[in-house]
Amino acid sequence: MDLNGARLAIPEIENPIEDGWTLPAGWYADERVWELERERIFATGWQYAGRTEQVRTHGSFFVSRAGHIPVVVVRDREGTLRGFVNVCRHRGHPVASGEGCRETLQCPYHAWTYDLDGSLRRAPRAEREPGFDPTQLSLRPVSVDSWGPFVFVNPDPRANALADTLGELPELIAASGVEVDDLRFHSHHEWEVKSNWKVAIENFLECYHCPVAHPGFAKLIDVDPDAYLLTVNASYSSQVGRIRESALAGNGKAPYVPRGAVTQAQYHFIWPTTTISIEVGPMNVAIERWVPTGLRTTAEVTDYFFGEDVSEEQVQEVIEFGTQVGEEDLALCESVQSGLDSRAVPQGRLMRESEQLIHDFQRKVVAALDLS
């Protein structure tokens, strides 16, 4: 159904998703599917937005996106973390840009000025407008919360707590050898993925392609299906891989020698658009938000964190490894999008055991769009 209650004629699911068939190829570049996703997926889920260090002091702020929705996160005068839709209530211009520290948030278009609690403090010439009520024109609030150095937002101001979405994920990550409170931000990276956001997420969610498409990865991590563990939870899913003995021996074939406290590679997906990659070796986390920028384009926005005592040499080894795998994936996603756009194969067939995380993701997409 669309926003006015009329039925949207989107490509039908001819073969059941429950039986292992994929989403229809048409769902990866269809304006009608895209509109439903904006309303029912991106506007209702917890998504990584930025770093707690960016809003450490009173008046500090940064801008981000939750799917298609621009947001601004601020620390108000009382020290409370707040989040708002970064759209002026006057004519729709973004109120803030970048990051910094301010006493107020002022729209650069007509100088409508908002307090750090979102309330409209001043609108030039408002006194000339009969019935103008600033109390009805506050910035739209969003839910905001943090976990360790990570700030998450949910455009739904009535969303369930972030902790409910994370579930046991913090404990699982701690068991890998990573203490998130000990992490330090290192660098920020962005890539353009020339595919629909679902193609990019689905590529992340399986290592069935790793032996063929990521030979360096397969020399570092044991990708045998009996060693590479997959788990599905209500709001997140996980992949856990162990180090190959040959990589520990430093025989020169692996991309780097995984020295450090992290003995399990872990790759986690938090519905709907956040991923966490933890490589073996030194304490490290790459947390990504996947921002849909169009029907066939997605921005992969990555923040790298490392333990305080990790050397710059080790940092660069991990980043170069992640970059190599990432560039291989960019090419794969673009090729998959091209194949889907042909519509020559209306639905694919998943390998249910090896691609169970994709199966779970696609079931979540179907459930969220609620086409009944």
Q: Is residue 234 part of a domain?
A: yes
Q: Is residue 364 part of a domain?
A: yes
pLDDT at 105 over 90: yes
Instruction: Please say which residue of 154, 180, 205 terminates a domain.
Output: 154
pLDDT at 3 over 70: no
Residues 135 and 228 reside in one and the same domain: no
Strand partners, 30: none
Nearest to 253 by CA among 228, 216, 288: 216
- Specify the pLDDT at position 320: 97
Which residue reads 């025989």 in tokens? 251
Which distant-in-sequence residues (6+ apart) come within 8 Å of 178 by Cβ?
261, 262, 278, 283, 284, 285
Reported as a single tens digit per residue, the pLDDT across 195-215 is: 999 999 999 999 999 999 999
pLDDT band at 1 (very low <50, low <70, confident <90, very high): very low
Q: Is residue 107 part of a domain?
A: yes
Residues 121 and 191 reside in one and the same domain: no
Distance CA 155, CA 197 (A): 18
Which residue reads 């998943």 in tokens? 350
pLDDT band at 5 (very low <50, low <70, confident <90, very high): very low
pLDDT at 330 over 60: yes
Residues 259 and 362 reside in one and the same domain: yes
Q: Is residue 26 part of a domain?
A: no
Residues 124 and 242 reside in one and the same domain: no
Average pLDDT value for residue range 341-359: 96
Average pLDDT value for residue range 155-160: 98
Reported as a single tens digit per residue, the pLDDT across 224-267 is: 999 999 999 999 999 999 999 899 888 768 999 999 999 899 99
Instruction: Report residue 279 CA to chain centroid gap.
Output: 18
CATH number for the domain harbouring residue 257: 3.90.380.10
Q: How many domains does the chain have?
A: 2
Range of the domain at 106: 47-154
Residues 203 and 61 reside in one and the same domain: no
Which residue reads 């997605």 in tokens? 298
Averaged pLDDT of the chain: 95
Reported as a single tens digit per residue, the pLDDT across 261-290 is: 998 999 999 999 999 999 999 999 999 999
Average pLDDT value for residue range 349-357: 96
Residues 186 and 300 reside in one and the same domain: yes
Residues 192 and 130 reside in one and the same domain: no
- Specify the pLDDT at position 252: 67
Residues 300 and 335 reside in one and the same domain: yes
Residues 213 and 123 reside in one and the same domain: no
- Specify the pLDDT at position 372: 73
Q: Is residue 163 part of a domain?
A: no
Distance CA 171, CA 67 (A): 27
pTM beyond 0.85, yes or no? yes
Q: How far is CA 137 from CA 39, 74, 103, 141, 290, in A?
A: 22, 18, 19, 11, 31
Residue pair 208/231 in contact by the 8 Å Cβ criterion: no
Instruction: Please say which residue of 119, 154, 189 terminates a domain.
Output: 154
Residues 113 and 225 reside in one and the same domain: no
pLDDT at 43 over 80: yes
Instruction: Please say which residue of 154, 176, 193 terminates a domain.
Output: 154
Average pLDDT value for residue range 98-104: 98
